[in-house]
Amino acid sequence: MSISAHIGRVLPPVVTGADAMCSLILEYGIIPFFENPIPGYSVEEHTPPEHWFTDESLGPWDWKIHCVQSGDIAYGKFLWGGKAAFATVDVYRELMNWRRAQPKYRPSPEQRKVLDFLSENGSVAIPDVRRLLGVKKSAADAVVARLMQQTRLVTGDIRRVYRGADLHYSGWQRSSFCTPEALFEDLDFPFPGFVPRRMQSDLSPEESLAFVKDTVRTRAGDIPEGLLDKMLQ
């Protein structure tokens, strides 16, 4: 039997603007940006085609800026082995509690240099990583993506880039990155949508992983355990 036969396609609500996109993320708790092996479980699949990266609309690619700048949504490459995703503070903290306990997610000496830079400067961008490590853009992108997968880095801000004589915006953006702790430090709890749990230090990594899996299943249906592991590991 195919994977899709095990999983219900849970498609409403519809994303037609920045506020609706933020609401979707807050409702789901954690969700990939793009279509993936779990049918119906992505921002892309909740977005009508006429709003998805057309000549007339930049759609979620631009709307994500509003979600990131809201300050209570984490955005980065932390699902499916390094694919873009969004998570609320409470769910992301649980993912972080589990990921950081796993030996395979420990930073390398090279990645440590980026984290040391962050501790001194508060944020880091790709040009900073290139200068710091003496690498090309593709290698700098890979280092940042790996730190995101380790839950040690998230997108802190995104700025639109306006080009040409008419300062036209065609979707080109510049991102800066920070630690999750820095992004979430100013939030007061409880905030709307946050369900209080025990302090993170009281939760085992296994309990946190179970919480994240339960959160996904609440929205995506009866997902085979192996597929969930693939998404989260």
Q: What is the pLDDT of residue 195?
A: 47
Q: Record the tokens describing residue 19, joined without a space.
A: 């506020």
Q: What is the pLDDT of residue 172?
A: 83
Q: What is the pLDDT of residue 197?
A: 54
Q: What is the pLDDT of residue 102?
A: 95
pTM exceeding the 0.95 threshold for the entire prediction: no
In angstroms, the CA 219 to CA 233 distance is: 19
The per-residue pLDDT string of the chain (233 residues; one tens digit each, 9 = 90 and over) reads 233 333 444 555 689 999 999 999 999 999 999 999 999 999 999 999 888 877 677 899 999 999 999 888 999 999 999 999 999 988 999 999 999 999 999 999 999 999 999 999 999 999 999 999 999 999 999 999 999 999 999 999 999 888 877 777 777 889 999 999 888 875 544 444 444 454 445 778 999 999 999 999 999 988 999 999 999 98
Q: What is the pLDDT of residue 6?
A: 37
- Who contacts 28 (Cβ-Cβ below 8 Å, separation ≥6)? 215, 219
In angstroms, the CA 184 to CA 72 distance is: 7
Cα Rg of the chain (Å, integer): 18
Q: What is the pLDDT of residue 140?
A: 97
Quick check: helix, strand or coil at residue 136?
coil
By the 10 Å C-beta count (0-12 exposed, 13-18 middle, 19+ buried), 164 is classed as exposed
